[in-house]
């Protein structure tokens, strides 16, 4: 499973657009084709990540909401959850 939905979003395009997108997107991101390919192939278990600015740009390019490029759901822990779990004293 991939960490990001880039391949899924690309393969949803018509073949003609898919081929063009593979050339255009790296240019818009300001990265090489090889780097873009590496972004597409980051596995869920890997420590590697795409820089935040590039993720935001990809979400904009694909017309998706912030956070929707992730290929997985993170558990969301709020500050209230952390404070409620804390067993430390109020010194």
| Distance of alpha carbon 49 from alpha carbon 42, whole angstroms | 7
Domain boundaries, the chain: 6-85
What pLDDT sits at residue 25? Answer: 98
Reply yes or no on whether the pLDDT at 78 is more than 80. Answer: yes
| Distance of alpha carbon 76 from alpha carbon 71, whole angstroms | 15
- pTM across the whole model: 0.79
| Residue 51: band (very low, low, confident or very high) from pLDDT cuts 50, 70, 90 | very high
Task: Report which of residues 5 and 76 the model is more confident about.
Answer: 5
- Give me the numbers of helices (H) and strands (E) for the chain, helices first please: 5, 0
| Residues 70 and 4 sit within 8 Å (Cβ to Cβ) | yes
Question: For residue 35, which of 50, 18, 53 has the smallest C-alpha distance?
Answer: 50
Length of the chain: 91
């Amino acid at each position: 499973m991939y960490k990001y939905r880039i391949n899924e979003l690309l393969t949803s395009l018509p073949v003609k657009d898919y081929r063009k997108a593979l050339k255009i997107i790296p240019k818009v991101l300001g990265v090489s084709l090889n780097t873009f390919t590496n972004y597409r192939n980051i596995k869920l278990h890997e420590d590697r990540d795409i820089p935040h600015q590039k993720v935001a740009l990809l979400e904009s390019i694909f017309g998706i909401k912030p956070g929707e490029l992730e290929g997985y759901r993170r558990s969301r822990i709020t500050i209230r959850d952390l404070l409620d779990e804390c067993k430390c004293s109020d010194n």
